[in-house]
Amino acid sequence: MTFPVGSGAQVPGGPGGATALAQLGTEAASCTRCRLASGRTNVVFGMGNPRARLMFVGEAPGEQEDLQGLPFVGRSGQLLDRLVLEEMGLTREDCYIANTLKCRPPGNRDPLPDETETCWPYLAQQLDLIAPVVVVTLGNFATRLLLGTAEPISRLRGRAYPYRAGHLVPTFHPSAALRGGGQVVAQMRADLVRAKELLFAATGKAPR
Ligand code: URA
């Protein structure tokens, strides 16, 4: 599937990429490629710095995200913001945040395989245009999709994987941390420190 991504030079992570990303977001805002279009309030395309070196990929919008049109603005997002600030010294303006699905599944059910497949070109283009050094995947769905595996997050986390021109660091979804308590939060913290070290190693400077 191809997308119109503008006519300017699209250097990944560069100004042309930011324009193309905005155009892609405009296109996604009226998307009707799958059944989720009929039940959504807003498309949740993504937010943050289009030139970010760090990108988070979650699962799908929840109720608050659907209402506000922004990713991770509910309770799990608040936890994610806190952990990223405490372990990496970064705010969401320093990163880019997106999901595998851009529309909320009814009742927050799991994404269906055909929905994930239909929505994938948007995320693939976001990854191309932002070209982050490190991608942190949050939970089973994002991690399995990007790594192309069926292994559970509990087995996949704890290390980094080569990904595109950089690295992928899988961690738990913050909603699992909200349910699972201290041990899950501690493992998420360790994963975020791993991501920070990779950013530092790749760029020679603090992640911001
Ligand atoms: N959970 C996700 O995976 N993404 C969001 O944007 C919100 C909650």
Count of domains forming the chain: 1
Question: Is residue 7 in some structural domain?
Answer: no
Question: Is residue 94 in some structural domain?
Answer: yes
| Residue 43 to residue 59: CA distance in whole angstroms | 14
Question: Is residue 208 in some structural domain?
Answer: no
Would you tell me how many other CB atoms lie within 10 Å of the CB of residue 153? 21
pLDDT at 154: 96
Would the pTM of this model clear 0.75, i.e. be above it?
A: yes
Q: Which atom of ligand 1 is nearest to the CA of 58?
A: 3
What is the amino acid identity at position 73? Answer: V
Positions in the chain short of pLDDT 70: 1-15, 206-208
Q: 25 C-alpha to center of ligand 1: Å?
A: 17
Question: Is residue 110 in some structural domain?
Answer: yes
Question: Is residue 21 in some structural domain?
Answer: yes
pLDDT at 2: 33
- Which of 75, 76, 126, 144 for a ligand 1 pocket mutation test, highest count of atoms within 8 Å of Cβ? 76
**For residue 199, what is the domain's CATH number?**
3.40.470.10
Ligand 1, CB within 6 Å, residue ranges: 58-62, 65, 71-72, 74, 76-77, 99
| Residue 145 to residue 63: CA distance in whole angstroms | 23
Question: Is residue 181 in some structural domain?
Answer: yes
| Residue 88 to residue 204: CA distance in whole angstroms | 15
Question: Is residue 5 in some structural domain?
Answer: no
Structural domain harbouring 77: 15-203
| Residue 99 to residue 78: CA distance in whole angstroms | 16
Question: Is residue 42 in some structural domain?
Answer: yes
